[in-house]
Every structure is written in structure tokens, then in C-alpha cells.
Chain A
Amino acid sequence: MPDLTYKKIGKEDLMKILQEIANEEELIAPVEMFGGEALFQPVKDVNDITFNYVNTLFPPKQFLLPRFEKILTYKKEDGKLKVEEIIEAPKRTIFGIRSCDVEGIRYSEFFYSGKMFQREDLADPHFMARRNNLTIISVACLNPAPTCFCVCCDGGPFLERGFDLQLTDLGEYWLCEVGSEKGTAIIEKFPSFFIDAEEKDIQKRKELEDKVLEKFGPYPAFSGATLRRITEGNIPREVWESLGERCIVCGGWQLLCPLCFCYTVVDIGDENEGYRARIWDSCHYEGYHRLAGGPNPRKGRDRRRERCIFHKFSWQYVERMGRHGCVGCGRCVITCMGYVHMPQTVWEIRSAFREESYKKEAKVR
């Protein structure tokens, strides 16, 4: 384990600190909705925060890359077009975010900061402004949901990087791992609440991590096998066709994936006045791939799925981004309408080489 500073804090003390933060800036935390599920929302009163959740269906990437975002306005004045950039980046702290989503933020940041292309001058000002103003207090998972498979994808349940503070529930205390200067700043701001963690606390955290690993459910993702087979490019066409037949093209997988960052832009307004907005898009949609004039290199659903998995698992992207494109949050398992989510897809890719019968009939698990 790398050198981290370990602190601990009482449960009530943490709530006091969070309330202080909520008073000063925007605090984002999980809130219970009407149906009982949790959702990350701006919180004014810390009593609204729920701890009864594994993860939220809607990813907190919303606070870095909003689903709908105005990026510029334009106005015609005296025959000249006046364009103004809109950068909305309030100071924010996000509490309760899970490891997989922190890893997702790190991945998106790699793209939007331009590091992916080794061109930091190309950084996206909207995303980066919000990222720089965001403090991440993550909470490690002790009870994964049946849909979780982060353990197969290096996306959790505990992290070693990417967070500012990582909290682990030790019963009476929260163990705090400080991961960045922003994290240190919080500790220094509220020195009376934090105490140094003892060796037995750190030992307990390690034991908890080992225990969590045993609790993972029935959705293993064979990402290693998939990575090699995608990179080699020898997956039978039938696999993609079979997956495409079941795909209902809802795009929910990409919209909820904490690592997916594709967007499209729309112009709203007339020739004199209006604005440009950026909205989430999905590579499973036909219009995403359609070229001007009508030709579409990926008209079939199977081709679009292939492209998606290629981006997520091909070595050329892994090399550039530093990891493959799945953190195992399990959101696709919940939201996929055709039951061809990530674990299913990689399972079929892997089994295609084992079962000759694959070609004969569509497999549905």
C-alpha cells in the first residue's frame, strides 16, 4: 500500500464537519428518494443524508459533466455576433461517492484534461473548472450489491488513488485516508475533530477489505480474457450479431456508465440569439455514427456494440488511458433493457471460444 496519512474521526464529528462544508459551499451527498432508492443531490441539512445505499443508479459524474449543459451564448449586436462562454463551476464537495465512481472521474479527467492525447492545451475548460473546484470524500464499500463486480475491474471496493479523503466505517469511527492536498486541507481546517489512526485501525481496514472481497455476487467480468481477445480482434462475428439482436438501443448503459463521456452539441435559438448546449450521447445510437449525407459505417446494432466494447477493452485505449473502460459499478446490469450488459457481454465473448454450439443458438443468461 502506498504511503498514505491515516486519521480517524468520530461519527458525529464527521456530520458536524459536513454541516460546516454545506454552509460554506455546495455539498453533494446521497439522499433517499420517494421509492427508497438513493440519489446524489445538493444537501443543505446533513440530516437529509442517507447511509442506507450501496450506490446510486444515476452516477455522480453529473456534477462534472452535466447531462444538459449550456456552454456558450450568442447574440447579434449591430450586425456582429457576440459569443460568451459559460463556465459554471461552483465550489463543491461530494460526500459518500463510491470507489468505482471516483475511478470513473479519474478516467474522464484523463480525457478532458487532454492527458490522453498528451496535449494539455486541449483541456476542456468546463469540465476542468468543475473538477478543480471539486473535493472528493469517498466512502469505501463494505457490502457490495449483487450487481457489483468492481473487484474484477480494479474499480474498488477500496481505492488507492483518485480521492481526497477515503472513509472506512470502523464501527464507532470513520478511518480517513488522505489522498491529496485537498484532503490534507480538510484535516487542517478542522484539526480538533481528527485524531491519528492507530496501527490496529489500519489493520482492521485491511481485514474489512479482505472480507468484502468474499461478498461479491454472481456477475464476474472476465475483463482480462476480453481485453486480450478484443485486442487480437478474433471474436467471431456471430457473437456481436447475437448481442445486437437483443439490444433495444436504449443507450442507458452509456448514459449511466461512470466512465463514458461522449457528448453531442445542440444549438438552441434563432439567428439573432441563442445558446449552445452539450448533452450526453451514447455510441449505441445510430445517429451517433451517421455521417453527413447519410452513410453510416455502423448501421447495425451489432457494429455499434462492437465499437463500444472495442473502446472499453482494446489495448490501444488501455495504453492511452491507463486502464480499461469498466470499473464494475454494475449500473449497466440494472439499466440494460436487453440483458446484454457488460458482464453478459464479456461472458459471451469468453464462452464463444469454449462452446461450439454458440453459433447455433442465442445464449441468454
Chain B
Amino acid sequence: MEIPVESRELSQLKKQPTICSFCGCGCGLYFFSEGFLVPAQNHPVSRGKLCLRGWSYADLRFTPKRLKSPLIRRNGKLEAASWEEALNTAGEALKAIRDKYGGDAIGVLGSARASVEDNFTLYQFATKVLGTKNIDSFYRLGFFPSEDFSFPDLEKAEQIILLACDIAERHAQAASFVTGALARGAFLYIIDPRMPQMSKLASIHIQPSPFELLKEAEKFIEELEVRGDCYLLYSSEIILYGWACEARKVIEKAITKGIKPLFLCDYANQKGMVKMGIHPQGGLSFYEILDEARKGNIKALVIMSDNPSERFPQLFKEAREKLEFILVIDPLRTDAVEVSDVALPGTFFFEKEGSTINAEGRRQALHPTVTPQVEKNEIETLIALGEKLGVSLPFPSGELVEMEMKEWKPELSPTTQHTPSPDYPFTLLLDPSYIWAGTAMAQATFIYNRESSIILSDFPEGFVNINSEDAKELKIRDRMPVKIETPLGSITLPAYTTLRAGKGVLLFPLYLWEKVAEKLGGVEFDKSHGMPIFKPIPARIAKEE
């Protein structure tokens, strides 16, 4: 269904760049309806360069995963419906639940692949229409409130420190800036228990035990003789290990030494989403919303472009059984859409007006550069839905959005860590790599889907990354099942022997988090900023009998 964009000169809009909605780098590109895109050469971040994800972004135009018409569940099956019918059904169901159980029985999930304005409207919808405090997003996973910076400055750096982040894998554009700086003679220092791709280019690579990571980082920063521009790059790893509070101290120390910290967001509009209020504000966080739903305290979910089953499939499945109603607004037919009661199509970045904020804190405008494939965008849908519930929502004008934009500074508290012991010579560590494998965004592309699912088809049961030398000593070969014993419990996974894992480190990918945590007594949680965490756990390897 091709709907013309009213009163807009498409030939003019076609010449405007749009922004990639994969990682937090926020590359500018020209998007064309014929299924191709061109990296913007004069864009400060992309500079004519795009990563594999960026190049594959063009596939979203033709993706078979696109949700094109509203769906309503009838007799257990999702059937196509008209917009009016779907809006009415959703409106009635939400009204009934709000009136029966109160607004706080509804959970609302925002998204980092929706625009700032979409998240603004969703927040207004949650607070003014539904009256709930429970608003958050699974796209906040690994977020850390941090300072703004500028990528182009990075290229002029003289010293660059990578603190536990794999930029070549997850933030390719940042890796390109770092390589550019190296080409101009900069020094690269890496502090990481893993061996990421960039480590081969580093002058110094400190591979500490995961328990010592922050201590080593602090020591290194203290001893470092800062020359010229020095940058410290870090990403979601240390947050997901439960060290947000300790990390802040290290970052503050770095700032006092004149080192500029750069936090690399994992998702496109993560910063903008949080600035629009999509984070726990007295209500439940994303993990707690589903946890409470599982216990029967949350009765309905409103999900906008989010998919909880990408990170916590079991939790979402259990929650789904108890939930009375799920409304999903998403441009993609995600797993969440498949289990929803009403699903409404959304729009991609290249189909709507709005803005997005990347890891730098750079707010970039979005324009509809191709005719949208669906009738309504998220803002129109939410406003229409508000009308059905008797509340008229404001249109997110520039001024209104500016006014509501707030920094989030949660009070962080330290978490207790597991202590290493001689009985357990290894450390089991979460590796937030393969972050896009199996996600709706990756599956919606063609080439990137092929590339990101290689690991899934090589290891359908998941894997644990073991250092090749350790594996040789223990006589473990690739794909051999190994039993990992920890003081909390044990789990058996196929081995994947590479040099990526440092000596004595066992890495498992992010998409196995829930499966691994289940065997070790459940997912841990940092209440102070509403974040599920996986602390490094001492472990040993027992060969499977």
C-alpha cells in the first residue's frame, strides 16, 4: 500500500540524508525506495563510510518481515484488520484494564529504534492516558548516563584507551575513527579480558582477570602520562557486569586527568529515548515489568518497536501467559507481534519526520525520504489511541520536545561481587558481542542476516568461548560439550575455541544470558538503575561424561 506524503515535495526530501537505526553511532545516509542507499560523504559521522549493518539497512525497504497492516487476534489467530477496528479494539481493551485494575497494572515499553518524538508521545500516552508509572524499554539494556562528545575529535586523538569494548564488532564507525587516529600516529591502549579485533593494533593490551578489570583500569589511568588529546572509550560491558557505580568513579578519575570519556551506546536512539523519560521514574524497570507480569501483577503491555524475547525469551513467554492484553506498534513483524492481541504497523527512520540522538549526543533530524509503506506513523497512532480513551495528546512539536528533554542521573549503588577462589581457576563472563544475532532488525535484512546468523547456525545450542591454549591443555576441541561448574550451579555448552577469550576466561554470548543465568540461580538485578546484570563468576571446566 503506497500512501503519498501530503504536501511534501518528495523529490526535494529525497536529497536529505536520513540516519541508520542500528547502533549508537548514528551514520547519515541517503535512502532510496529502489532498495539502495548512499553513505553521506559530508556527514560528520559517516564521512562516506558505512559498516555492514549500515549497508544492509537498505534491505528494510523490501523486507518480508515488514508489518504492513493492523492485526487483531481472533480465536487465537492473528488476522488482518482495518485501522479503525484495530484502534477501537486496542482502545477498549486498555480502557477496561485501566478502569478495572488501575493504570499501574499496565506496562509500557519504548524503543531506541523509534524517534525522539515517538518516545515523547509514548511517554505522554503512558502518563496522561493510561496513568502508569511503569515505562521503560529493553533497548535501555546496558545504558549508562554519560557525557556528550564528538566523533570527529576522536580522529585527532593522540592516545586512545579502550576499556572493555569491542568497537570493531559493535561500533564499526567508532573503530574507523580509531583506525584513522592510528594512521595519524596515535597510541592505542586496550584493557580487556577478551581479545577483541582491535587488540592487534594496540601498543599495550592489558588482559586482566575479569575481577580485576576496573582496578587495572584505575591503575593504568593513574600511571598514564597524558599527552595531547586522550580518549577513554567504554560501552555496555562494565554496566552489564554490575559495575556502573565503580565505573563512574574510574570515569571521574579519568576526567580529572584530562582524559575525555566516550560512552558508546549500543542502540541508535538510546540516548534520545532515555532523555524522553523512558527509564524507571518511580515505576518498574523493563525487567521488573515482565517479572511482575509473570507474577500476575501487570495485566497489559503496550510495546512500541521493542521485543523483549530477543534478550529474555523465557521471561517474556511466562509473562505472556499471564498477561490479559498486549498491544504492539512496530514496523517489523517481531516475536512480540506474533504473541500480541492487537498489532499496529509502525514506520522506520526513513519514513517519518522527527529526530534521533546518537551516542555523541548529536540530535539529528529525520525526514521521510521515501513514501511510507503504512498509513499511520507511531505518533498518529498513539494520538488516535488517546482519543479513543478520551484524552487528547499534544503533537510533539520541536519546542515541546526540547522542554521535556531531561538528563537522567540515577543514584548508583555498588554491587557485591563474587570472589575468585583457587578451586575455580576460570571466570565465566558475559560477552555482549553478537548483539544483533537473531534480532528482528538483523532478520529484516538480507546480507546482514546471513552474516549475523552464521554463529547461530554453527552453534544452534549456543556456545562457550574458550581460549585456544586452555582448550589444548584440557584436550577440548571445537563443538565438544563442556560442563562449566560454578559455586552457583553448572551448565553444559558446546565449546568454541578461539583466541577471543583471554586465558582463564569463559565467554558466553549475550543471547544466551537467560539460559546461562537460569542454571546459576536466575538473572541478577541492580535495583539502583533498574538493570539486569551478570557478574563475573568463578568457574571450572569438567569434561562431559
- Using a CB–CB distance below 8 Å, which chain A residues touch chain B? 31-37, 39, 57-58, 62, 66-68, 245-246, 248-252, 255, 264, 266, 268-269, 277, 279, 281, 285-287, 290, 294, 334-339, 362, 364-365
Give the complex CA separation of A245 and B208 in angstroms.
22
Which B residue sits closest to A37, measured CB to CB? Answer: B41
Tell me if B83 counts as interface (CB < 8 A to partner A): no
Give the complex CA separation of A277 and B34 in angstroms.
12
Interface pair A252/B175, CB less than 8 Å apart: no
Interface pair B183/A252, CB less than 8 Å apart: no
Give the complex CA separation of A291 and B535 in angstroms.
37
Give 6 closest A-B pairs by Cβ, nearest first. A68-B35, A35-B42, A67-B36, A337-B176, A245-B200, A287-B450
Interface pair B197/A252, CB less than 8 Å apart: no
Give the complex CA separation of A269 and B175 in angstroms.
37
Q: Which of A269, A286, A335 contacts B48 (CB 8 A)?
A: A335
Given known A251-B55, A252-B50, A337-B173, contact A37–B42 (CB-CB < 8 A): yes
Given known A245-B197, A255-B55, A266-B446, contact A364–B183 (CB-CB < 8 A): yes
Smallest CB separation, B442 vs chain A (Å): 12
Give the complex CA separation of A39 and B51 in angstroms.
20
Q: Which residues of B contact A338 (CB under 8 A)?
A: 175-176, 179
Q: Which residues of B contact A337 (CB under 8 A)?
A: 49, 51, 172-173, 175-176, 179
Which B residue sits closest to A287, measured CB to CB? Answer: B450
Give the complex CA separation of A191 and B52 in angstroms.
49
Q: Which of B16, B50, B183, B451 contacts A339 (CB 8 A)?
A: B183
For the complex with contacts A34-B15, A68-B62, A248-B51, 8 further pairs of A-B residues with Cβ separation under 8 Å are: A39-B30, A246-B179, A266-B446, A281-B447, A287-B454, A294-B458, A337-B51, A364-B182
Interface pair A248/B176, CB less than 8 Å apart: yes
Q: Which of B16, B48, B49, B51 contacts A34 (CB 8 A)?
A: B16
The residue in A58, A287, A337 that gathers the most chain B C-beta atoms within 10 A of its C-beta is A337
Q: Which residues of A contact B200 (CB under 8 A)?
A: 245, 362
Interface pair A66/B175, CB less than 8 Å apart: no
Give the complex CA separation of A249 and B172 in angstroms.
9
Interface residue ranges of B56-93 to A (CB < 8 Å): 58-59, 61-62, 64
Tell me if B457 counts as interface (CB < 8 A to partner A): yes
Which B residue sits closest to A48, measured CB to CB? Answer: B11
Interface pair B50/A364, CB less than 8 Å apart: no
Given known A246-B179, A287-B451, contact A66–B36 (CB-CB < 8 A): yes
Which A residue sits closest to B16, measured CB to CB? Answer: A34
Q: Which residues of B contact A39 (CB under 8 A)?
A: 30, 38
Interface residue ranges of B25-56 to A (CB < 8 Å): 28, 30, 34-36, 38-43, 47-52, 54-55
Given known A250-B49, A339-B180, contact A268–B62 (CB-CB < 8 A): yes
Q: Which of A246, A264, A335 contacts B49 (CB 8 A)?
A: A335
Which A residue sits closest to B36, measured CB to CB? Answer: A67
Which B residue sits closest to A249, measured CB to CB? Answer: B52
A-B contacts, 19 listed (Cβ < 8 Å): A37-B40, A37-B42, A39-B30, A57-B39, A68-B35, A68-B62, A245-B201, A250-B52, A250-B172, A251-B52, A268-B64, A285-B52, A287-B451, A290-B454, A334-B47, A335-B48, A337-B179, A338-B175, A339-B180
Give the complex CA separation of A255 and B52 in angstroms.
10
> How many residues of chain B get a CB closer than 8 Å to chain A's CBs?
46
Interface pair B175/A248, CB less than 8 Å apart: yes
Tell me if B17 counts as interface (CB < 8 A to partner A): yes
Interface pair A67/B35, CB less than 8 Å apart: yes
Interface pair A34/B17, CB less than 8 Å apart: yes
Tell me if B491 counts as interface (CB < 8 A to partner A): no
Given known A35-B40, A57-B41, A250-B49, contact A68–B183 (CB-CB < 8 A): no
Tell me if B168 counts as interface (CB < 8 A to partner A): yes
- Using a CB–CB distance below 8 Å, which chain B residues touch chain A? 15-17, 28, 30, 34-36, 38-43, 47-52, 54-55, 58-59, 61-62, 64, 168, 172-173, 175-176, 179-180, 182-183, 197, 200-201, 446-447, 450-451, 454, 457-458
Give the complex CA separation of A336 and B55 in angstroms.
13
Give the complex CA separation of A338 and B175 in angstroms.
8
Q: Which residues of A contact B197 (CB under 8 A)?
A: 245, 248
Q: Which residues of B contact A58 (CB under 8 A)?
A: 36, 38
Interface pair A286/B64, CB less than 8 Å apart: no
Give the complex CA separation of A101 and B38 in angstroms.
17
Smallest CB separation, B177 vs chain A (Å): 9
Which A residue sits closest to B175, measured CB to CB? Answer: A248
Smallest CB separation, B65 vs chain A (Å): 10
Which A residue sits closest to B185, measured CB to CB? Answer: A364
Q: Which residues of A contact B49 (CB under 8 A)?
A: 250, 252, 334-337
Give the complex CA separation of A158 and B55 in angstroms.
31
Give the complex CA separation of A339 and B41 in angstroms.
16
Q: Which of B15, B39, B61, B168 contacts A335 (CB 8 A)?
A: B39
Which B residue sits closest to A274, measured CB to CB? Answer: B64
Interface pair B58/A67, CB less than 8 Å apart: yes
Which B residue sits closest to A333, measured CB to CB? Answer: B48
Interface pair A248/B172, CB less than 8 Å apart: yes
Q: Which residues of B contact A290 (CB under 8 A)?
A: 454
Q: Which residues of B contact A31 (CB under 8 A)?
A: 15
Q: Which residues of B contact A57 (CB under 8 A)?
A: 38-39, 41, 48
Give the complex CA separation of A281 and B64 in angstroms.
19
Q: Which residues of B contact A36 (CB under 8 A)?
A: 42
Q: Which residues of B contact A68 (CB under 8 A)?
A: 34-36, 58-59, 61-62
Given known A58-B38, A294-B458, A334-B41, contact A277–B62 (CB-CB < 8 A): yes
Smallest CB separation, B125 vs chain A (Å): 33
Give the complex CA separation of A35 and B458 in angstroms.
42
Which A residue sits closest to B183, measured CB to CB? Answer: A364
Q: Which residues of B contact A252 (CB under 8 A)?
A: 39, 49-50, 55
Smallest CB separation, A62 vs chain B (Å): 6
Given known A35-B17, A57-B39, A279-B447, contact A269–B64 (CB-CB < 8 A): yes
